[in-house]
A = this chain, B = another copy of it.
Amino acid sequence: VLGGKARKYRISERTEDRVLSEAKRIGFTPNQIASSLRLRKTNTIGLVIPDISNIFFATVARCIETEARKRGYFIMLCDSQENPRIEEESIRLLRNRNIDGLIISPVGMIGKSLQAMRDSGFPVVLLDRYFPGLDIPYVTSENHQGAYEATKRLCALGHRRIACIRGLPDSSSSRDRVRGYRDALVEQGIEIDRSLIVGDDFSERCGYLETKLLLQKRKRPTAIFSLGNLTSFGAMRAIKEGGLSVPEDVSLVSFDDHYYSEFLRTPLTAVSQQVDEFGLFAVKLLYDQLDGDAKAVEDGISLPTKFVERASIRDLNSGG
């Protein structure tokens, strides 16, 4: 009766009512742990994210939580701190706890490991980053296209020395954005200067350090393309500290756009991602696997980006 299957077992209404009212009287609440053990289903999704305090992931997490709840799932949150060891450990512990599925924005080289999980029938969805060659469903942005457009625009404004502060070099998002950047330069006949492609991770500190160094070069870049929202703030900090201004001394473009961008000292030109859709699709892709054949799921989705031009880039043609 408590399971809502009174009908199925053709329990008399009188009995059903008696059970229900007595249950309410003593405040009976079903123990989900016991249920989970019995049914081998926890209604829990593991969410492993490099940095939940990053506004991008925080926004995605919110959507995922909301969407998951609608479908009756809980979120077990793990912040891998962009640390492969913590990430691996988190996955292990989550699996011990019999989560029903995993949504992860991977940091380490765990493609094969995730693929193995998936092959064994365990639902996995990648967030923001994917593994080329493996068929694990993912949701990401059209990183190449977004970076390509942004870089092309900088070129059109006369920039030739454009630096690129990338995030975690091993991540697909970073790689694809760098590719887009390079392709745009090559297309414009600009030689790639590898010393202008810098950065190790998506942290503010990284943006700061790399920008510091870039600004000290004999031939200082006229524009900086920063591939993460935190690195962009790091870049701004370094620029400000050096007594320089955007865009007079250096133009700045950021991948990833958020509500603060237009209110900055110099409104920031940025490649905007469909952040809300990230969460929606992630849960959808996971749910499709939970629902039925874990393997018969589309291999991934790339969401279009939008180039939002604001005052942070300068036209070198007109200005001289």
Contact = CB atoms under 8 A, between A and B. Distances in A.
Contact of A53 (B29, B31, B58, B236): B58
Interface residues of A, number: 49
Interface string A57-90: 0110110011001000011111101000010000
A14 to B, nearest CB: 27
Interface stretch (A33-41, A106-114, A146-154): A33-41
A31 B96 contact: yes
B33 A61 contact: no
Contacts of A76: 44, 74-77
A42 B33 contact: yes
Given A37-B37, A74-B76, A97-B33, A52 B42 contact: no
B37 A34 contact: yes
A77 B53 contact: no
A269 to B, nearest CB: 14
A122 interface: no
A79 B66 contact: yes
Contacts of A54: 58
